[in-house]
Amino acid sequence: MTARRPTAHVLLVACLCAAALLGTTSAPSVSQTYRERGAYLVDALAACGNCHTPHDATSKPIPGMELLRNGKRPDRTVIGPPMPLEFYRQLSDRDAEAIAVYLKSLKPVRHPVPRSHYKLSQPPSHGPIVGHVAEPNPRDKIAYGAYLAGPVAHCMECHTPRDGPRLDMSRLGAGGRDLPDLGNPEGRTVSRNITPDPDAGLGRWSDADIKAAILLGHRPDGTKLARTMPFDAYNRMSSDDVNAIVDYLRSLKPLK
C-alpha cells in the first residue's frame, strides 16, 4: 500500500497516534486546559516529535519544523505502521480531544515528505469504530501506569515482539524488536526486555535505575540508550507519571 503525501490534517492524525508513546505520570489537573493537557501529552509523554520532526545530521530536531484513534485519514485511507494504532485506540476521549486541540493550535509547517511504502498489505481498517473510552483513574497507579505506558507513550509498542503483523500480547514487554537507531541514520537497535525478569529484564534494576533510563537515557552501568528511546521528551514527564509507569512495569509477568 502506498500512502499519498500527507496533508496538514494527516500529520495531525499521525502526531495524535504518536502521543501514546509514554502517557502521563501525574494526575491531570482540574485547572489544566485541553491545550495544556494536549501539549504535555504530545511533547512529553507521547514524544510525537521523535518521529514527526525532521532531524539534522547530528540527530537534533530542526527548529521550526516541529510538528485517530481509528487509524484512518479524512479520505478514509488506512494509516499504516509505525503508528501504534493497537494502543492508540485505547486513548481516553479527553486525551484524544486534548491532543487534537493542541495540534490544531500549532503554527502550520509546509514540508514535503516522501510517500510511505509498506512491504505488507494493510487491512481495510484497524477494527470497529472506537466508541466512548473513559478517563483512567490516576489513583490506581498500576492501571494508570498501564495507560501511560500503552495508549499514551506506547512503550509497550516498541518493547513487545510481533507475531506477523500483530503484537504478540502474550509476550508483552519482552523486547527484541529490531528498530532504526534514530541517533545513527545507518544503524539499528533492539528494544530491551522491560519485564521484571531478574536476568533478561529489569528485575535487578532499582526504581531509580528505571527512571534514569526513561528520563535521561542512562543504563545502570552509565552507558547511553539509543535515541530511539525519546528520553529528551520523557524528561519533561511529571514525577507522578513516571512513578506510575515504574509501578506498572514492576507488575508485568517476568519473561525471558
| DSSP for 46-62, written as a single string | S-THHHHS-B-TTSPBP
Decide: helix, strand or coil at residue 123. Answer: coil
Decide: helix, strand or coil at residue 163. Answer: strand
Type of residue at 167: L
Report the pLDDT value the prediction gives residue 133, as an integer from 0 to 100. 81
Q: In this structure, is the dihedral angle defined by the CA atoms of residues 217, 116, 178 and 16, taken in order, positive or negative?
A: positive
Q: What is the rounded average pLDDT for all residues in the chain?
A: 77
Report the pLDDT value the prediction gives residue 218, as an integer from 0 to 100. 94
Query: Which region among 8-17, 80-89, 225-234 has the lowest average model confidence (pLDDT)?
Result: 8-17
Q: In this structure, is the dihedral angle defined by the CA atoms of residues 44, 83, 110 and 96, taken in order, positive or negative?
A: negative
pLDDT for residue 12 is more than 80:
no
How many angstroms separate the Cα of 208 from the Cα of each of 147, 194, 213, 214? 21, 14, 9, 10
Report the pLDDT value the prediction gives residue 60, as an integer from 0 to 100. 61
Report the pLDDT value the prediction gives residue 142, as an integer from 0 to 100. 96
How many angstroms separate the Cα of 141 from the Cα of each of 99, 136, 211? 22, 10, 16
Q: How confident is the model at residue 252 (pLDDT cuts 50, 70, 90)?
A: very high
What b-and-e string marks burial along 92-118, b requiring 16 or more CB atoms within 10 Å of the CB? bebbbebbbbbbeebeeeeeeeeebee
Structural contact between residues 122 and 80, judged by C-beta atoms closer than 8 angstroms: yes
| CA of residue 81 relative to chain centroid, distance | 13
pLDDT digits (tens, 9 = 90+) for 146-191: 999 998 988 998 999 988 777 899 999 999 999 988 888 789 999 9
Q: Which of 19-33, 52-66, 71-85 has the highest mean pLDDT?
A: 71-85
